[in-house]
Every structure is written in structure tokens, then in C-alpha cells.
Structure 1
Amino acid sequence: MGVALRDILLDYKNPVDWNELAGNCAVDGNNALYQFLTTIRQPDGTPLMDTGGRVTSHLSGLFFRLSNFLENGMHPVFIFDGKPPQFKSETIIIRREKKEKAKEAYMEAIAVGDTKEAFRQARSATKVDSEIIESSKKLLKLMGVPYFEAPGEGEAQAAVMAMSGDVKYSISQDYDSLLFGAPRLVRNMTVSRRRKVRGRTISVNPEKIVLSDVLSGLMITREELIEMGILIGTDFNEGVRGVGAKTALKIVREGKFAETVSEKLPGFDPDPVKEFFLNPPYSSDYNLEWKAVDFDGIIDYLCGDYEFSRGRIDAILEKLNVKQGQKTLEQWF
């Protein structure tokens, strides 16, 4: 879900054109797939599926976004979550329970014909399971895009890679990337340039957040930014009730973080969470090698296995071919 820092980051969100994003970039894979699964749905909340009932929303989103990335000279590497830290187990249990309740509410809404409520509950019940991830990895391979599993959190691995200079920036919707130290975070990479928010469609464009600008502008350190996250609530701890970004900023500026935690979260030790953000588990054993797009393989996989429209896939692949200066689709068949 990510830490709710939006209210203090508005002044640090810089619009960025797609043509400025060329180069290596690390994508929070689980975050991207979750986006696709929650947004690419029928009006009643039903995800896109083939005739066998297999979900295809994630493959649709992934294919079109990857094509857009490659057309714009971007070299993405997708990073998937590995083993979560022990102190995330409670969060995982709570989320699982909420998703089960949302699934029940979805079925009830469908039964009474309330499509608006059904759509809302379907999004809340979304899960990124192993089948979703494995089918996505196969498409990534066909698109020539490298991927690997992080030893811990995917966005933490992406942040470390950005800090080392192996990639120019991290891509994720979650602000946690900043707490993990990502020097540059890019959000809103939707191909359609539109997103549904509270039932209405709004226009969105890519935005870049530079961590050093945030820290200097707010006059805090990265450690204090992490303390703010702990007060607000992260994926690894429950925050202080009633404390949002602006209140958290005031508390850390006044040096009252420890005092507030002791008073409002008795029995909670913030140090393991803070240490996890500052020094997360990561791997240096990865190979950033981008390969040629397997046009035949993509058509067999998406159109053959998952029944995608051949016309739509052909059009995108032909556009990608022309952009890359390769031969046209007609020469491939």
C-alpha cells in the first residue's frame, strides 16, 4: 500500500516527458502488476479473462506498458518481491483478511446488481498470486526485458540499484521507494494517460520526485523521513492514529519522534523498521541484459495461448518495429 506522504510531496512532484525517460530503470514488479489488476476491469469489477477463465488483465497492461517503454528508449528491469521481513507478517495477515471480506462484499454486490459497489470491492480483493507473476515473467522474457526476484522487498532492491547508478531511477506508485533511498522516483507511468480516482477519470502524466530536493526542502534527513513514515504507518508497522504527513513532519522537526512513539505506540520498537529502510536486504548478483523482442513468441503467447486480439497485438508490434528501425511485421510472417 505504501506510506501516505502525498500531502507533503506536492511541491516536489515534477512533470516529466516520456522522451526524458530514456535509459535504464528499475520497476517495482509487484506494484506494477497490482496496478494492472486493479484498474483493467469490466464495469462490474470482473477482470479481463480468456475463455478458460484465466485472468489476462495483467498481461494486457504489461504488454502495452512495456511496448511504450521500449518505444521511448527505456530499458526496464522488473524486480519482484522476495521473502518479506518477519515484522511484516501481521500486515500480511490483516491484508489477507481484508481481501477476503472484500471478495464476499463483491459477490453480494453482484447478486443485487450494484455494479459500482462491485467494482470497488473487486479492486479491494485484488491479489498478485504466483500464477500472475509466472505468466508475467514469461511475457517479460518474450519482450527481451530482464527480471529477477529480490531477496526482500522489490522496491528496496530498485532503490539500491538506483543509488549504485546501475539504473537512472525507480518506477513505483508507492512513496516507500524514497524511504528506501531511491534518488529519483518516477510515478504515473500509465500508457492511457488516464486513471480512475473515486469513480471519476482524471488525466495523469509521468512525474519525477528527487529525494535530495525533498529532504532539503523539508529540512529533514532521510532518517527523519523514515521516522515520519513510521508515525504515519508503513507496510511494516501500524502508525499513530490521527497522524498524517503534515503532523508527522512537525513531530520529527521538533525532535519528538521517540517521545511520540513511546506515548502513542507503547511496546513498539521502531528500530527494526528503521534499520530495514536504511539497510534493506539486496542482491548485487543480477545481469542487466536486454534482448531482442520475440515477435513470433509474443503472438503465440498472447494471441494463441490467451486469445488476445491479433489485430491489436500486430499493430503495437509493428509500431515497435518501426520505432526500433527493424523490419516490419510483414517480413516476420
Structure 2
Amino acid sequence: MAETEKIAQMAEILSNDLFSEFFWQKSGTTNHNWTCENQEKHGNKTHPSDVVFYYDEPYSQSRTYINCDLKSYAKGTIKAAAIKDAIESLAKQVSCAEKSPEWNQLYIHDHVTPEICGLLFVYNHDGEYDKDFSNVLSNVKADQLDIPRGSKIVVLGPKDIFWLDNIRYDLCILRGKSGSDKIPNGDQCRFFYPQLIRKTNVQIEKAKAATLEMLVGPWIILEYKKENSRKGFIIYYKRKGETTEEFIYLIDYLRHYQVLSDDTDIQIRTLDTAPIAAATFKKAVDRYIEEMTESNEESDFSKLVRNIKFSTMPQVISTFSEVEIGMDL
């Protein structure tokens, strides 16, 4: 039993370190059981909340609360049946949390409009899982889950967690650097949400965190303040980088939302891209400049595009010692 508890703690430790880097905050108590609001249907007297995180939404006057189920598995124990059971259980938790006075009293701030969702965090603690996790999820039918309309459940599998953990590690490295690549501490940073045509960023000062949608999206963009009134942007790019078209789409996104400017430094950081991704990016830059300016000649615009840095970040795998966790080091 003690060994099982230590393994479970690994996911708790990693999730805390990981999501704090994306500016999520904890609410209420951890590892708490609260009364089920539909015991006859759910077959439970209580539901668990391993941890509840929250962040403010950029495009609405609301605060998202994420009820998390943290799982830590060895390679051979990530099975479809166990994951299906965990998702179904999490759906029941979210369903009850929406109407539970007890859950609301424990976790919801009384001055905000809450949005409640669920997160299944599937951490592979031995770092050896190499299968397609989507196959594990294939038997889960979303329309059969007991989840309120408008609510959502997100599953972060081993590969997703590996990607996010490497971003966390990379940000720590960049904060310790000197020179132009150095980034400031968190109070000078925010995740980037542009002003959209039909969606205005209504909480610019408060909504600094990366939303769940951003964390599972094709890229994560961090904006930060530099010295001498300059700004910096880091685009953590998740796609493979196999075609010029995908990079042209990204560059055009940066231009369209006015990230490209002469007072801004931009770098694209990748992890598991195609071997020729850097060369493909350079070709995309050349093609984009030609299509936008109808010329190969150097211009202010071409300098902005060519100044975008493209690099690969180091790969790491977070591991934990059961002995150290047991000693509470």
C-alpha cells in the first residue's frame, strides 16, 4: 500500500510543478472526498477530488475550475479498461460538482462566474510508454458519459504530459540564461490571447494562464516583457514541421495578430519535429516573403520574418525516487 501511495504521489508532484508554470492556481484542499449528489445513478456515496486548479478565462468574465484525477502508471499498466473507468468516474465527478453545495463551498470563489471541467492526468512514471495512447481512448464514447451540457473532460496522456513537461523545463532553463534568450520571471510573462474579430480578450490583466484549449492545441505562445520596452514571444510548436504550408500558416498567424513588429523578438521552439523541420521552416520564410512582397529584395518586412528564430529544445523525462518521496525530501 505504501508503494502504491508513493507512485500516486509522483503524478501529484509533477502536476503541481507543471501547471504552476502555466499559471494555474490551486483551490481548496487536495485529496478530498465529497458527497455524491446522485448516489442512486452513480452508485457512489462520495466522489474524490485529487486537486482542483483554476484560471481566469481570457474571452469571458468567468473562471475555469479543473477537477483533476491524477493517475501514475507504469508502462504495462496503462490499459484501455482502466482509462475508460477513470474517464467515466471523472464525468460523474464533474456532473455532481456542477450542483454540489459542498464542492462549491470547498473550491469555488464567491465573486466569480465558474465554469467546471474535468482533467484526467495519465502520467507514465517509468517513462517507457511508447504506444499510441489514442487507441486506449478509442472505446470511450463521449455521448455516453454523464456530463452536463457545455462541460468538458480533457485527457492528458503520457505523450501530452511529456510535451508540456519539456516546455516547463525549457522555460526554467531560459530564465537562467544570460543574453538575448533570457526570459524574465513569471510576473513579466503571460500566455498570448489575441483580440479576435468576434472574441475580445476581456480580462487582459487577469487572464495570464494557458487555458486547457491552449495546452492541447498545436502551439503554446508565451509573451513577456524585455528591457528597453521590447517584447518577446516564444512559440512552442507541437506539430511535426513536415511542410512549408504549416509554417506559412504559423507566420501568417503572427503577422495577422501583430506579433511581428520591430520592437519584438520571436523564437519558435520545437521538440519532436521532422529531421528537416529547420530547413523546411527556412523555405517557408522565403516563400512567405516572396508571396507577401512579390520580391526577393531585402525590406523591413522581410527582416522581421527572417529574424524569427527556429530551434529545438532539449528533451527531458521527469522521474521520481520512491525512496525520496517516502522520506519527504
Output the TM-score relative to the length of structure 2: 0.29
Output the TM-score relative to the length of structure 1: 0.29
Q: Which has the higher contact order (CA 8 A, sep 6+)?
A: 1
Counting helix residues as a fraction of each chain, which structure ranks higher? 1
Counting strand residues as a fraction of each chain, which structure ranks higher? 2
